[in-house]
Chain A
Amino acid sequence: MDLIFEGILKAFYLLITFDPEVMGITLLSLQVSGTATFISLLIGISIGTLVALAEFPGRRFVVSLINTGMGLPPVVVGLFVTIFLWRSGPLGFLGILYTPAAMILAQAIIATPIVMGITLAAIQALPKNLRLQILALGATRLQMVWILIKEAKLPLLAGVMAGFGGVISEVGASIMVGGNIKGYSRVLTTATVMETSRGNFDVAIALGIILLLLAYLINLILTQVQQRERPR
């Protein structure tokens, strides 16, 4: 019991004194996952909206593919990103393996299908005639798509949160392509794994608390979104 109690005490000390190492790790985590989520939004929302609005043969197949992608195992993503970025791999010339850039790439690959799938569902859940109503108000195609995305903003926000929540708590891909290099590519999850294995439970608990706080924040926003109702 002492172990846990002391660990928690020390963790709070690290947090309230803004321990530079813990803060550095947290900041990098937010930077990497934030950038990855941003990239996934650009790709996920545009393709998700396109698939939701377009009619083409094989659409069902594409939708099922996106839905499968929402549960992409991070270690598999890590494996393939590593292979691609390996010195002799197809993207080896970039020389970004074991850098934050590689982590952003891997996390963006994990988050994109999540954002895409939620965008697809959100746009499809809008009333069927809404599209016609927007066009009837004199909108161009582009204006219509923009208004639809604005109408789906709450479920889309859920998509943002789910994507961000997915990558900030992910460890497999980050450790594989980032390498957990101190002060360079060490993020909350990879640091927690390492500190735990070393027996530095105080630091691990401090990092864990930060992760939990982030998870709580994300769920708070998601719950707010779910409790809203649609206009008539």
Chain B
Amino acid sequence: MNGSPSILEVKDLQVTKAGTLVLDIPALMIEEGEILSLIGPNGAGKTTLLQTLARLIKPSAGEFFFKGRQASPNLSDLEYRRRVAMVFQEPLLFDTTVFENVASGLKIRGMQGPEIRKIVTENLEQFGISHLLHRSARKISGGEAQRVALARSFATRPEVLLLDEPFSSLDPPTRESLLADLESILRRTKTTTVMATHDRMEALRFSDRVAVMNQGRILQVGPPAEVMNQPLDEFVASFVGVETILPGRVIKKNGGSFVASIMGYEVEAVGEVELGESVVFCIRPENVTLAVHPSKESSSARNFFSGKILKIIPMGLYHKVQLHCGFPLVAYVTGHSLENLALTEGKEVVAYFKATSIHVVKKKGGQV
């Protein structure tokens, strides 16, 4: 990450609304050409961060650099805003034709005539909406409207594109096709993009880096795989899909592995810890295997526990099985194994998981 040119950089950025601190970002660098996703629950500050990055919200403190130039003394907000673009959750189209909508950013910049026509045509084509050219923005569907909004922002050739959940109001098939188109356009044009979403799958498939936000702060930022598999804390873990989060205390150490007591049960994991240290075990549901009887295969896993199935929730391609093994545990099983093992609610099963599949988070401050 070091050495690559950063296009946007903020330091000690703070935004205050009605006396409360709603955004607090000590440092964030966005590299040229990367796609950064902001994920987090509603109210996490994603929109505020995007609008601050678009310089639509004035930060109450902090420094802001665009290609090394500091805003505002060296770079006016207007000049900056003319080099970036933002797409909101709603399409916010103007009450005119699709053509005029896509041309609006260019007209605002004083461009005229044939040049506008050429750029608008290109962008409509790129988003597969050439046929809408002369249609009124009032008479197109939600998915089409969001495509027009994207074409409108691309028409100005932004150096940074800021997207605020532009797909959240679309139905799944419409959203899927728009996502696929957008991804290929972003990759082809190498447009630096910051995209907010509350759908972690959207973020994971799309981005070079993911930033997990909560309560106006960035909790972790890194490549998707890193954030998924090595969440820095419990909040990030639960947000990226770790279903089982167990607090415990280290009671034994042997070489690279150690044993922690989780609600009185001994669970083995791998990592560098101190005896007596408080840790949190994050176990992804796909790493938990279920069996009806302990088998040879299961014995190679260090951790195995018998427990009772509390609930089976169908999730589409797989089923989510909630267990109680003295502590709560969640496993994903396929429909096939659900049938093979004849799993039902209330049934006694054996659950096992490898010591290496547990992600260990050390509690800040040590003692809890």
- Chain A residues with CB under 8 Å of chain B are 127, 129-130, 132-133, 135-140, 143, 147, 150-151, 153-154, 228-232
Contact = CB atoms under 8 A, between A and B. Distances in A.
Contacts of B317: none
A232 B140 contact: yes
Interface stretch (B79-87, B240-248, B306-314, B326-334): B79-87
Contacts of B137: 231-232
A166 to B, nearest CB: 26
B358 interface: no
Contacts of A135: 56, 81
Given A129-B88, A138-B82, A231-B137, 5 more contacts: A129-B92, A130-B92, A147-B94, A229-B138, A232-B91
Interface string B112-139: 0000000000000000000000001110
A164 B90 CA distance: 36
A231 B90 CA distance: 11
A40 B136 CA distance: 31
A138 B51 CA distance: 14
A127 B105 contact: no
A192 B238 CA distance: 78
B48 to A, nearest CB: 12
Which residue of A139, A143, A150 has the most chain B CB atoms within 10 A of its CB atom? A139
A137 B111 CA distance: 13
Nearest to A136: B86
Interface string B4-16: 0000000000000
Q: Which of A130, A138, A150, A151 has the most CB of B within 10 A?
A: A138
Contacts of B138: 228-232
28 contacts: A127-B90, A129-B88, A129-B89, A130-B92, A132-B86, A136-B81, A136-B84, A136-B85, A136-B153, A137-B105, A137-B153, A138-B78, A138-B108, A138-B109, A138-B156, A143-B108, A147-B94, A150-B94, A154-B95, A230-B138, A231-B93, A231-B94, A231-B136, A231-B145, A232-B91, A232-B93, A232-B137, A232-B140
B108 A137 contact: yes
Contacts of A137: 85, 104-105, 108, 152-153, 156
A232 B162 CA distance: 20
A230 B95 contact: yes
A147 to B, nearest CB: 7
Contacts, number: 69
Contacts of B89: 129
Interface string B64-101: 00000000000000100110111011111111000000
B54 interface: yes
A129 B145 CA distance: 16
Kindly state the interface size class of chain B when it binds its partner: 20 to 34
A171 B45 CA distance: 57
A127 B93 CA distance: 10
A133 B145 contact: no
* Leading 9 A-B pairs by shortest Cβ distance: A138-B82, A231-B137, A232-B145, A136-B86, A133-B92, A231-B138, A137-B105, A231-B93, A132-B56
Contacts of A232: 90-91, 93, 137-138, 140, 142, 145
Interface of B: 51, 54, 56, 78, 81-82, 84-86, 88-95, 104-105, 108-109, 136-138, 140, 142, 145, 152-153, 156, 162
Contacts of B90: 127, 129, 232
Contacts of A151: 94-95
B267 to A, nearest CB: 48
Nearest to B89: A129
B191 to A, nearest CB: 15
Nearest to A138: B82
Give the interface centre of A127, A135, A151, A153 by most chain B CB atoms within 10 Å. Answer: A135
Contacts of A132: 51, 54, 56, 86, 88
A154 B96 CA distance: 12
Contacts of B156: 137-138
Nearest to A140: B78
Contacts of A230: 95, 138
Contacts of A133: 86, 88, 92
A151 B91 CA distance: 14
Nearest to B156: A138
A24 B99 CA distance: 46
Nearest to B54: A136
B305 to A, nearest CB: 51
Considering residues A136, A151, A154, A228, which has the most beta carbons from chain B within 10 angstroms of its beta carbon? A136
Contacts of A231: 93-95, 136-138, 145
